[in-house]
Amino acid sequence: MSLSAQLKKHDQSLYDPLLLSNLIPVSFRHAQPTLGLLLMSTPSLTTTVVVLPTYNEIANFRSIAMEILSLSPSIRLLVVDDASPDGTGEEAERLAASSRHVTVIRRGGKLGLGSAYRQAFQMILKDTDADLICQMDADFSHRPADLMKMIEAARSGKGDVVVGSRYIPGACIRNWSRRRIWLSRFGNLYARLITGMPQSDVTGGLKCWRRKTLESINLEAVTTDGYGFQIEMSWNAWKLGYSIHEVPITFAERTRGVSKMDWQIMREAMLLPWKLRMGHSDAALHKS
């Protein structure tokens, strides 16, 4: 039986995110991750791809991946690992070897969160017909249950992009020190005041994009590589006139692994609102 016929047969069977048969050999995925993604489509369901960027997330990776996959049979996972020294990339490959719903992009070094999302989004738009593209952290700061709420909101037509917010009624932040909460609130207010963005949470990283929204953004021209990416992408959606629907989420401090935030990333995020305000990043709004 051909590979695509095998996949179709499995699509009709009871859902099991961890198929033990190795349907797509690892070496194939290494060589052609784009084709790996193509093969993942399930004709009867609207496909959602969740992008999970990882750097040294070995303590969190398998459990977060399994929780995401078990949310719905229509969910596909695209992991972007930047040569994590702790072996997260190898662990992701092992998962991908046992589940045809998982694809891994392994990059040669730490190129940044924004760069990881940019590459993943471009690949998804080019190689799949996914209609919803989600992004979330792999450290359990974002809860899979909230991701599901957001996917449902997006599927029921609420917003061209659905954003998880920590700062609207019903939202909650767990285990952050007072200092960290104020730092985050300040960063958020700072970006909103300078750019004029109306959303309550412009720095959050849990989002579900409708395909057409991402397609309208010139991803090549997005300038940020670090966490500023979250602000820049929300800005692009807003400037292009797309509706942004905010869903309250519970955000929790990671309990395993360490943060990758550094001064270079903070500096980029601090300068970005001014660049946006002065129109220095407007190239992303014009897709040829």
Per CB under 6 A, residues contacting ligand GTP are: 53-55, 57, 80-82, 110-113, 116, 137-139, 141, 227, 254, 259-261
Distance in angstroms between the alpha carbons of the first and the last residue of the chain: 43
- Select from 204, 275, 287 the least CA-distant residue to 240: 287
Among the residue ranges 19-27, 85-93, 133-141, 275-283, the one whose residues contact Mg ion (CB under 5 A): 133-141
CB 224 within 8 A of CB 272: yes
CB 53 within 8 A of CB 77: no
For Mg ion, give the closer residue by CB, 142 or 245.
142
Calculate the alpha carbon distances from 31 to 12, 24, 117, 146 in Å: 28, 12, 20, 34
Nearest distance from residue 55's CB to ligand GTP, in Å? 4
When asked if residue 139 is in the footprint of Mg ion (CB under 5 A), the reply is: yes
Is residue 100 packed enough to be buried (19+ CB in 10 Å), middle (13-18) or exposed (0-12)? buried
Nearest distance from residue 203's CB to ligand GTP, in Å? 9
User: Total residues at the site for Mg ion (CB under 5 A)?
Assistant: 3
Two tokens, residue 71: 């949310």
* Interaction pattern, residues 33-52, with Mg ion; x per rule: CB under 5 A: --------------------
Nearest distance from residue 276's CB to ligand GTP, in Å? 19
CB 148 within 8 A of CB 59: no
When asked if residue 135 is in the footprint of Mg ion (CB under 5 A), the reply is: no
Nearest distance from residue 259's CB to Mg ion, in Å? 6
Place of tokens 């960290």: 180
When asked if residue 57 is in the footprint of Mg ion (CB under 5 A), the reply is: no
Query: Pairing between strand 172-174 and 102-106?
Result: unpaired
DSSP state for residue 100 in the 8-state scheme: T
- Select from 274, 259, 199 the least CA-distant residue to 227: 259
List the single partner that 128 binds among ligand GTP, Mg ion, none, CB under 5 to 8 Å by kind: none
For Mg ion, give the closer residue by CB, 104 or 136.
136
List the single partner that 103 binds among Mg ion, ligand GTP, none, CB under 5 to 8 Å by kind: none
Binding stretches for Mg ion (CB under 5 A): 137, 139, 141
